Structure 1
């Protein structure tokens, strides 16, 4: 999904640069590109919000703060206001889903530009199609974030793993009748493998929970921002996100 967002973002910027005609072309393209970066920022923060079924005790403290108010009214506000005007930002403050409304503004703006004949109908349709793709990728990400796996999947897998762990030593005892002590290290190894597989499945259910096992959407967003700003020759290009303690955010 986030790979799709990367590809569509680049295509969106390239088409916008190629299609838009007019005396203030550069200003218009820059406005829309920065609004797209604002959408990425809002979506990223929304996906980092805490859900009660996630591994909240293992979040990256001081990097992805789990407190919703802190997240929304300091860091997010600051980042959004660097991309869009204060007037536009005020329209979003009371919205429950900022990313949705930012993309709505983007769609309306494209229609205004079409009405002013900055590009043709066909090209306008192509740009709106990419807006549709962005909404799809956002919706898929939100579905993973908002709807937990049915508990029977997690519960049954855990209980079967524990049941298997209890029976494993008894199941291999007759293989080592002359060296019964080998049952202990071999059983430990087998149990560890199956327990590790169960834990990997558990953490993979929530790829946006703010732990070390996350999809690095902060780094992905940073890559998109760098690419898009370089495409419009913007001078305020951010530095590339570096790993923290060996992990990308």
Structure 2
């Protein structure tokens, strides 16, 4: 997600450069036909075009509001994952003890630390599997279809796009657990939660976790599963296609007819200026090109912002930065159990969190 105050003009120009060229061409064609070849019949009344523009503005605004709602809900879900992960790690650090251990099941301080470390690292494996699932491309996701979006993705290097999932999970799971998770396939995050619950149960049977503490930890796991399901709901249920598709058609229809209304208006303004400013009035019709381009750019860019934001885990610069969030959680939970192997935060590239 972008962390700078605003896009620079250069960044916006690069991101929309191919679209801008199309707008310029669409503006020049009717201007040449009207002014040079005298095809004045191509002009359209301005009033209906203005009405279409007003309707399109409402549609674009409605979509962008809905898209922001999806983005904000996704951010709240991952905020909940942050909070519950911290709670889980703190309680693991305090509740895995020898206080209620059965005779012969007591562990040394180093052995207790290793048990706690295995639990929190398995939690990180769950987070890793979840973020990889969120980054998996769905058929309706179109962010990477546009070459300028691919340029941004290549610049910021989303970890899930450049590191194999097995390699990422191997940092947190034992070889046996990793083989199990990869062999089971399907929902890997849920499989890891299953392993987590099984481990906690074994510790409870040995008395290394008090029974009421075990129930409390299991309730946190249940909450994490609920948050996982909510995140998967956003990922697996797209913004309604009828709204997304019609929005694109409406915007492009407006962009195409826009110069047909602007060119005659600028031609009439030029004729009115001929008596006082003949030189400017003679060429004033050509000012319709930058004006049309600007209006087209505004409408299309707003529509495109909605397109790249409707799937908040897709990997765009404006998505929920789940990779950065997961790494921050990892730093917190490892600190809570006293693990000295604290990783560095992901590097911020191009002023974008990943």
TM bucket by the smaller chain? 0.7 to 0.9
Deviation at 1:83? 1.2
Match of 1:56 in 2: 144
Match of 1:17 in 2: 93
Give the TM-score taking structure 1 as reference length.
0.84
Query: Greater shift after overlay, 172-181 or 26-35?
Result: 172-181
Contact 1:208-1:214 at 8 Å conserved across structures: yes
RMSD: 2.8
117, 139, 142: which is aligned to 2:229?
A: 139
Contact 2:313-2:320 at 8 Å conserved across structures: yes
Match of 2:101 in 1: none
Contact 1:50-1:66 at 8 Å conserved across structures: no
What stretches of structure 1 of length at least 5 have no aligned partner? none
Distance change >3 Å, CA 245–CA 121, structure 1 → 2: same
Match of 1:47 in 2: 134
Q: Which has the higher contact order (CA 8 A, sep 6+)?
A: 2
Deviation at 1:224? 0.8
Distance change >3 Å, CA 98–CA 233, structure 1 → 2: same
Encode CA deviations 1:15-68: one digit per residue, 9 max, x unaligned: 22122222443222111001001111111222222223222344434935898x
Structure 2: how far apart are the matches of 1:66 and 1:91? 21
The question of 1:161 aligning with 2:251 is answered yes
What stretches of structure 2 of length at least 5 have no aligned partner? 1-76, 99-106, 271-283
Structure 2: how far apart are the matches of 1:190 and 1:184? 10
163, 168, 177: which is aligned to 1:79?
A: 168
Encode CA deviations 1:218-248: one digit per residue, 9 max, x unaligned: 1111111111111222121111111123322
Structure 2: how far apart are the matches of 1:144 and 1:109? 30
SS at match of 1:93: helix
116, 119, 124: which is aligned to 2:214?
A: 124
Alignment of 1:71-110 (within 5 A): 75-94=164-183, 95-110=185-200
